[in-house]
Amino acid sequence: MTEAMGTWPETIPHAAKAAAERWPYAVGLIEGEKRWTFAKIWADARASASAMLAHGVGHGDRIGIWAPNCRAWIIAALGAHIVGAAIVPLNTRFKGQEAADILRRSHARLLFAPQDFLGTDYKALLAGEDLPDLQAIIHTDTGFEAFLGRGKGSDDPAVDEAFARLSGDDLSDIIFTSGTTGRPKGALTTHRQVVQTFGDWAVRVDLREGDRYLIVNPFFHTFGYKAGWVNCFTRGATIVPMAMFDGAEMVRQIEQNRISFLPGPPTIYLTLLQELAGDKPRDFSSLRVAVTGAAPVAPSLVERMRHELGMSNIVNGYGMTECGVICMTCQGDDAETVAHSCGLPMPGIEVRCVDEEGRDVPTGQAGEFWVRGHSVMKGYLDDPKATAEAIDADGWLHTGDIGVLDERGYLAITDRKKDMYISGGFNCYPAEIEKLLSAHPAIEMAAVIGIADERLGEVGKAFVVLRPGAEASEREIIGWARENMANYKAPRQVAFVDALPRNAGGKVLRTALRDLEQQEK
């Protein structure tokens, strides 16, 4: 399969402007009971840009956005982009010290944050922090319209002058890595990289004009931001943001707003299947596309999504902050491919699978993935040493992800280097074991870590969430595992939990599981 790179607008605001010109009266955004056309979004974005200029924000500056998914997030980002400033998204789960560290390091001039979200006063969290570059905090929930009013409106000629300076080579954002290990590093990405990479992604996954896109993934994450609302401008899809994941609200949105495009981890589709099995009739007939990832997905779940939820197009993929999207499965791939593969590299992206010496390994043999192409970040903010460690002199990004390339060129991730453990001399990859465990009839989801063992060095411990109404014992699951996978892969211990700890992007926090393991000793 050979795909050509698409032709897309040069920058994110150019994409928003093009959407306003091509689909001026189409609904571009739904939030609660309110709706905005693409033309209105662009007018509001220009008003935001004028307000940015009034605050002294211009080309080369940075602004922070520390808020849940909402209209103000998008309009603030577009306003900053129009005047040539880069945005610095912050995880809504950050504490004050974590946010302050990123704001200081990025020299953010403005910060957009809610006055209250889930009982948290974000401004209060920053009290006492040394933030010499931060001029103001604008409340996205109570002060955003007042902020827009501080400029000269959407017709401000200064906006045109600033916008004329913007190019695809300007920084669009600095996204800090999750920080689950070590200090977060800020990945630098340009506008051209974002629009090109994710425009091509939208084609691969079949995001269409008129789709209703329920964005569950947080905007501070590449998925919710770049594969999310940015792509709605390139494709003419309607943005429907969710401030936080809530199963009942997701169901309401699907039925009321006729959602057709729904990405997210497997847990959200399990929630929908449980709803269908409930007493109340549900109408999920509008659903067409599911983009899953971030956690193992069983072939049986893919089949259920197709046959019970009626989702005709289910795709899986692989990406990272430092490179956006790397590969995706394709429309029509069978359930086994979707479940056990991350798909083919995106157009213009090269992928190698190498050993510890950087030599290509044979097809089907595990190695580290190296990636090269237009989507690879420009580097880490103010950290040339970390940049050189991540990207070699030939432009290859060393992902730290372990996996295999099959004879079709499809990638399959087995695990992160740091998550691998060695049991009796054999390499064990938790993601692979978790996929195998997911086939157990009583297991809804599982996460595996390596724990110390006097005889074997390390053995696996599985943290298991059972399906509603299901029962199983530790002994039964271990016995089943030994019957269904190589003995060295079979967990030696099982702990039953109500839920797995995850970050906002849906990935299991193995560090939290290791902490739990230590507490149980």
In the block, tokens 């629009």 appear at 195
Identify the CA nearest to 90 among candidates 10, 28, 178: 178
Cα separation of 294 and 320, whole Å?
10
Please list, in sequence order, all residues whose beta carbon lies within 8 angstroms of the beta carbon of residue 13, skipping any fewer than 6 positions away.
45, 78, 81, 82, 163, 166
CB atoms within 10 A of CB 96: 15
Cα separation of 370 and 419, whole Å?
18
Quote the pLDDT of residue 170.
98
Does CATH number 3.30.300.30 belong to domain 421-520? yes
pLDDT tens profile 351-374:
999 999 999 999 999 999 999 999
pLDDT tens profile 39-57:
999 999 999 999 999 999 9
Architecture of 245-416 per CATH?
Answer: 3-Layer(aba) Sandwich (3.40)
Answer yes or no: are the C-beta atoms of 177 and 187 closer than 8 Å: yes
Domain residue limits, the chain:
12-193, 245-416, 421-520
Cα separation of 75 and 53, whole Å?
14
Quote the pLDDT of residue 418.
67
Please list, in sequence order, all residues whose beta carbon lies within 8 angstroms of the beta carbon of residue 99, skipping any fewer than 6 positions away.
64, 66, 90, 122, 125, 126
CB atoms within 10 A of CB 119: 5
477: left (phi over 0), alpha (psi -120 to 50) or beta: alpha
Answer yes or no: are the C-beta atoms of 339 and 302 closer than 8 Å: yes
Quote the pLDDT of residue 180.
37
Quote the pLDDT of residue 521.
66
Share of the chain residues as helix, strand and coil, in percent rounded to the nearest 5: 35, 25, 40
The continuous run of DSSP H or E covering 119 comes out as none
Sheet containing 397-405: which strands, arranged edge to edge? 349-354, 367-373, 397-405, 411-416
Determine the 3-state secondary structure of 303 from DSSP: helix
Does the fold of domain 245-416 match that of domain 12-193? yes
Quote the pLDDT of residue 416.
67
Quote the pLDDT of residue 142.
96
Q: What is the pLDDT along the chain (521 residues), one digit of tens a residue?
A: 568 999 999 999 999 999 999 999 999 999 999 999 999 999 999 999 999 999 999 999 999 999 999 999 999 999 999 999 999 999 888 888 889 999 999 999 999 999 999 998 999 999 999 999 999 999 999 999 999 999 999 999 999 999 999 999 999 999 998 543 457 899 999 999 999 999 999 999 999 999 999 999 999 989 999 999 999 999 999 999 999 888 899 999 999 999 999 998 787 898 899 999 888 999 999 999 999 875 567 888 999 999 999 999 999 999 989 999 999 999 999 999 999 899 999 999 999 999 999 999 999 999 999 999 999 999 999 999 999 999 999 999 999 888 999 999 999 987 666 677 878 766 687 877 888 898 899 999 999 999 988 777 789 999 999 999 999 999 999 999 988 887 788 999 999 999 999 887 677 888 889 888 888 76
Quote the pLDDT of residue 179.
40
The full DSSP string for 190-240 is: EHHHHHHHHHHHHHHHT--TT-EEEE-S-TTSHHHIIIIIIHHHHHTPEEE
The continuous run of DSSP H or E covering 172 comes out as strand 171-176
What are the CA-CA distances from residue 157 to residues 10, 50, 307 (Å)?
21, 9, 54
In the block, tokens 């979707």 appear at 338
Architecture of 12-193 per CATH?
Answer: 3-Layer(aba) Sandwich (3.40)
